[in-house]
A and B are shown apart, each in its own frame.
Chain A
Amino acid sequence: MKGPIYVLFAISTALVCLTSRADSPKALQWHGFVAQGLIDAQNSNFVDDHGDISLKLTEIGINGSYRLGSRFRVAGQAVYLNGGNRYPEGIRADYLFFDWKAVASLDWQVNVHAGRVKNYHWMYSATRDVPHTRPTIILPQSIYFDSFRDVALGVDGLAVVANTSNSWGDWEYYWSYGSSPISREQTSNLVGQRFTGDFKQKFVQQFNTVWQRSNVRLGIGILDSDFEYTQGADDSFVDGDVSIKRLLIQASYAASNWQIAGELFRERTAYTDILFPNFFDDATAEGGYIQGRYLYSSDLTFTARLSLYDQNRKDRDGRIREAATMGAIPAYFGFQDTFTLGLSWDPAPNWRTQLEFHRVKGTGRLAPVLIPNVEVNDQKYWNIWAAQLMYWF
């Protein structure tokens, strides 16, 4: 418990430093956030194994950006998270990278980032860990699968961010290459508790481009990643590989007081060995969401969203896997569809309260992935509600 206290101390110190108004450009910039909530995910292990009301909805973070001349910069962010089973509890460095402004003309900007860089490729991936930048407390699990949050948040490697404009509109390009360290908790989200080996990401490469003209924004991206599992002593699992390839498209339209946005993906995942020698599973998942937001006033926003996820496009209702496992894995583990209603209210500058309800059909996005927890997740229909108070500076 000392970790969060250190982070809070750091934030308090930064707040004291920020009490004077920053009217002139400074080489060092600090920002941060603190958020605490209540969450209940009945009849599931989404937050904890009992489905009780929980305080495990804590997010604290602090970030800094330091300019080194006009073309170089260092940026980093540390966070403390407690989300129950959603992701491992504790402190981590979300990003820490060196930023080189390689091209800086009025028509082209190209930046190269080296270090632990963020995932800039999906609509909310760059700030999925920052409460007040999310449309809802829980992002659509079809794409923003919490159990793989740390793996999907960024990479230790390189990223190139470029943007330009022409008569067709504004264009953004993002490329990244590297790998993410995988903790034991993250490994257990894939294979469950009975493992002694090591799971590591060999590489992940992503590229996407976004076009924007006026209020319309369209994007397309690809992801390619390989993982390997190395058997440990007295391990239930064996050496093996996982390969993932994803195609993602995104679109949004903004009006003066409403906004519609959506992302769709197709993802092919192939498991080789791991469970036992000569095990092979190759499935293509599909999913995405469509989300509408109504900005009733500058302080109050309503959100409605439908998120759909099918683990295998050739077995959308999960019945083939249910039959193949002799009923051990119920069909409803083959999908997870969620309808969400939420509201966001800003009672004061830099303060926000979010409240939301999710009606969920299916358990396809609950960890562990390879060997599902059928004892706790024994309901096809289940609900989540959550409320969170957040402050940022």
Chain B
Amino acid sequence: MISRLARVTLLLLTLFVLPPTYADESSVYVVAHTNTNIIKLSSAQLRKIVSMRQTVWPNGQPIVVYTLDSNNPVHQTLCIDLLNMFPYQVERLWEKLAYSGLGEKPINVESEKKMLEFIAKTPGAIGYVSDISKLTSLHKIIVVED
């Protein structure tokens, strides 16, 4: 009985006290336009796309990157959890690219709603959201692996 109680307590702790790892990792989803011929990316590949060093999909289609403001919690989660960088490092990389001629800045949008709107109407687009309930047939989720 004690053993069973201990197991139930442990299960409850796991569910309600300890933050579930899956939920944490899922708090940001990488979303692309449905015509993007990619279903998964490594963390390094995503880092190159978001930092604007990779600007073309393997099929030759230009990549259009949409981002949220640097102080947006969803953007911060993306940087830290999926890109393995701090938001200020990503910001400085964009500045370096845009002001040295090496590349371009991504397109900044004001909300997740706008992010999904623009991804839906831009072939080759990629972005990220925390809420996937508004995804349509014009969106697809990209799995990000370490």
> CB of B20 within 8 A of chain A?
no
A107 contacts the other chain (CB 8 A): yes
B100 touches A101 (CB 8 A): no
Among B24-32, B89-97, B131-139, the one that faces the other chain is B89-97
Bound Cα distance from A208 to B138, whole angstroms? 43
B7 within 8 Å of A (CB atoms): no
B41 within 8 A of A: yes
Count contacts on B: residues with CB < 8 A to the other chain. Answer: 39
Nearest A residue to B88 by beta-carbon distance? A295
Q: Chain B residues with Cβ under 8 A from A260's Cβ?
A: none
- Residues of B47-62 contacting chain A, CB below 8 A: 47-48, 53-56, 58, 60-62
Cα separation A113 to B122 with both chains bound (whole Å): 28
- Nearest CB in chain A to that of B41: its residue: A106
Convert A117-132 into 0s and 1s, putting 1 for each residue whose CB lies closer than 8 angstroms to a CB of B.
1101000001100101
**Selected contact of B48 from candidates A109, A117, A254, CB within 8 Å:** A109
Interface residues of A in 13-66 (CB under 8 A from B): 22-25, 29, 31, 33, 63, 65
Q: How far is the CA of A241 from the CA of B100 in the complex (A)?
A: 31
Q: A23-B109, A23-B118, A254-B89 are in contact. Are A109 and B102 (CB under 8 A)?
A: no
In contact, B99 and A63 (Cβ under 8 angstroms)? yes
A152 within 8 A of B: no
Bound form: Cα–Cα A67–B102 in Å: 12
Q: Are B47 and A118 in contact (CB under 8 A)?
A: no
Q: Report the nearest A residue to B62, measured CB to CB.
A: A70
Question: Does B35 lie at the interface of the complex (its beta carbon under 8 Å from any beta carbon of A)?
Answer: no
With A165-B45, A214-B84, A254-B89 as given contacts, are A65 and B104 in contact (CB-CB < 8 Å)? yes
* Shortest CB distance A109–B (Å): 6
B99 to chain A: closest residue by CB: A130
B101 touches A63 (CB 8 A): yes
Whether the pair B105, A24 counts as a contact (CB closer than 8 A) is no
Given contacts A25-B107, A133-B96, whether A105 and B44 have CB atoms under 8 Å apart is: no
Residues of B close to A33: CB separation below 8 A: 99
CA separation between A144 and B6, bound complex, in Å? 64
Closest to A75 in B: B101
- The residue on B at minimum CB distance from A255 is B86
- Known contacts A71-B56, A104-B54; is-contact A97 B99 (Cβ 8 Å): no
Determine the distance from Cα of A81 to Cα of B105 in the docked complex, in whole angstroms: 25
B47 to chain A, nearest CB (A): 7
Give chain A residues whose Cβ lies under 8 Å from the Cβ of B54.
104, 106, 109
Residues of B within 8 A of A29 (CB): 98, 104-105
Residue of A nearest to B60 (CB): A70
Across the interface, which residues of B come within 8 angstroms of A22, CB to CB? 107
Please tell me if the beta carbons of A127 and B56 are within 8 angstroms of each other in the complex.
no
Contact assessment for B89 and A101 in the assembled complex, using a CB-CB cutoff below 8 Å: no
Q: Is A325 positioned at the interface, with any CB of B under 8 Å from its CB? A: no
Bound CA–CA A165/B47 (angstroms): 10
Give bound CA distance, A249 to B48, whole Å.
Answer: 24
- Cβ contact within 8 Å between B48 and A126: no
Contact between chains at B114 and A23 (CB < 8 Å)? yes
Cβ contacts under 8 Å, B98 to chain A: 29, 31, 63, 65
CA distance A25 to B125 in the complex (A): 10
Shortest Cβ gap from B65 to chain A (Å): 9
Interface residues of B in 70-122 (CB under 8 A from A): 70-71, 84-86, 88-89, 92, 95-96, 98-105, 107, 109, 114, 118, 122
In the bound complex, do residue B45 and residue A25 qualify as a contact, i.e. CB atoms below 8 Å apart?
Answer: no
A163-B102 contact, Cβ under 8 Å, with A23-B118, A70-B60, A133-B95: no
Instruction: Quote the shortest CB–CB distance from B129 to chain A (angstroms).
Output: 16
Known contacts A104-B55, A106-B41; decide if A97 and B101 are in contact (CB<8 Å).
yes
Known: A70-B61, A104-B60, A214-B84. 6 other contacts (CB 8 A): A75-B102, A106-B54, A109-B48, A118-B100, A133-B92, A165-B47
A binding-site residues for B, Cβ under 8 Å: 22-25, 29, 31, 33, 63, 65, 67, 70-71, 75-77, 95, 97, 99, 101, 104-107, 109, 111, 113, 117-118, 120, 126-127, 130, 132-133, 161, 163, 165, 170, 214-215, 254-256, 295, 298
Would you list 12 pairs from A and B whose C-beta atoms are within 8 A, ordered by A residue? A22-B107, A29-B104, A31-B105, A33-B99, A65-B103, A70-B62, A106-B38, A109-B53, A118-B102, A127-B99, A163-B48, A165-B44
Counting from the closest, the 5 A-B pairs by CB-CB distance are: A75-B101, A165-B44, A126-B100, A104-B56, A130-B99
